[in-house]
C-alpha cells in the first residue's frame, strides 16, 4: 500500500475498533485488504473474501426479483425511501463464525463481530432479517431489497400512518437509517435503478446513460458486469 493508503488504513481500523465492529484476532484465517475509491473521492476499506467464499456453503434464501417488487406500486402516489446505515454492520455474527472473517493488515490481525461486506452469504442473510422484521407489511405498503426500504401509499393520510409504523418497527429492532440518504413524502423517487411516481415506473435516466456509455466488455468478468446492469431494466 502507498503511504497515503497506510495512513487511511490505520484511521479506519481505529474507527472500526472504537465502534466495536472488529476486534484483534488470532484466527488461522486471514483475508487480504485493499482500498476502493468511492464516488466522493474517499476510500472504502474492502476485505477480499474470495477464497473463503469459494468454500462457503451458499445460503439459498431468495433475493426478490426487482420487477416483482415494483409491480406492487400500482396506484401509489406518495413515497418515502429509507436507507439503512451501513446495513450489514447492523447484523451481528454468531461467535462460532467470527474467526472466519479475520483479515490481515500491516497493523495487525483482526476479525469482524458484525457482518462485513464481501461475504457471499451477506445479502441473503440481511434480506432474511429485513423480511422477518417487516413481514406483516410487505407488499401492503412496504417493499424491501436488502437494506433499501420503500414505503408507498395511495394518499398522504395513509402515508403518515404507514411511515409512522415502519419507523416504529425500525426503532424497536434497533435498526438505524442514514438520514442523508433517506427521502420522505415524495411524489417521485429513485429506487433500485428506476424512477417511481403515480404515473408508473420508468428506468432511471442516469442509469440508462451509464449503460449507453459503457465501454465494450473485454473479458468474461466485464460481460457479467454489463449483463447485471441490463437485468435492471429488461422487464420494463
Task: List pLDDT tens digits, range 10-26.
Answer: 999 999 999 999 999 99
> Which cell numbers hold the place of 128?
432474511
Taking Cα atoms as reference points, which of 66, 187, 48, 186 lies closest to residue 118? 48
pLDDT score of 231: 56
- In sequence order, the β-bridge partners of residue 188 are 197
Question: Beta-carbon neighbour count of residue 95 at 10 Å?
Answer: 8
Domains along the chain?
A: 3-203 (3.30.70.270)
pLDDT score of 226: 67
pLDDT score of 229: 54
pLDDT score of 195: 92
Task: List pLDDT tens digits, range 129-165.
Answer: 999 999 999 989 999 998 899 999 999 999 999 999 9
pLDDT score of 234: 46
C-alpha R_g of the chain = 20
Long-range residue pairs from 28-31, CB within 8 A, at least 24 positions apart, any chain: 28/99, 28/102, 29/99, 29/100, 29/101, 29/102, 29/111, 30/102, 30/103, 30/104, 30/109, 31/101, 31/102, 31/103, 31/104
| % of the chain exceeding 90 in pLDDT | 60
Q: What element of type H or E holds 228?
A: helix 220-233
pLDDT score of 116: 94
Cα 175 from Cα 129, distance rounded (Å): 11
Please give the average per-residue pLDDT across 17-41, as a whole number.
Answer: 91
This prediction's pTM: 0.78
Amino acid at each position: 500500500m502507498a503511504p497515503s493508503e497506510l495512513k487511511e488504513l490505520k484511521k479506519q481500523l481505529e474507527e472500526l475498533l472504537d465502534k466495536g465492529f472488529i476486534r484483534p484476532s488470532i484466527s488461522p484465517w486471514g483475508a487480504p485488504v485493499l482500498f476502493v475509491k468511492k464516488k466522493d473521492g474517499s476510500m472504502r476499506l474492502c476485505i477480499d473474501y474470495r477464497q473463503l467464499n469459494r468454500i462457503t456453503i451458499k445460503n439459498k434464501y431468495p433475493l426478490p426479483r426487482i420487477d416483482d417488487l415494483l409491480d406492487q406500486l400500482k396506484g401509489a402516489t406518495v413515497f418515502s425511501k429509507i436507507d439503512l446505515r451501513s446495513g450489514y454492520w447492523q447484523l451481528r455474527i454468531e461467535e462460532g463464525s467470527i474467526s472466519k472473517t479475520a483479515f490481515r493488515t500491516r497493523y495487525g490481525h483482526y476479525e469482524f463481530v458484525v457482518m462485513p461486506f464481501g461475504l457471499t452469504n451477506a445479502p441473503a442473510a440481511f434480506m432474511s432479517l429485513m423480511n422477518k422484521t417487516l413481514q406483516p407489511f410487505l407488499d401492503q405498503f412496504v417493499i424491501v431489497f436488502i437494506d433499501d426500504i420503500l414505503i408507498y401509499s395511495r394518499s398522504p393520510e395513509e402515508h403518515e400512518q404507514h411511515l409512522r409504523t415502519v419507523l416504529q418497527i425500525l426503532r424497536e429492532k434497533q435498526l438505524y437509517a442514514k438520514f442523508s440518504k433517506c427521502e420522505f413524502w415524495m411524489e417521485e423517487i429513485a429506487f433500485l435503478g428506476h424512477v417511481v411516481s403515480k404515473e408508473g415506473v420508468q428506468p432511471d435516466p442516469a442509469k440508462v446513460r451509464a449503460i449507453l456509455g459503457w465501454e465494450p466488455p473485454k473479458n468474461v468478468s466485464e460481460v457479467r458486469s454489463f449483463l447485471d446492469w441490463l437485468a435492471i431494466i429488461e422487464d420494463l
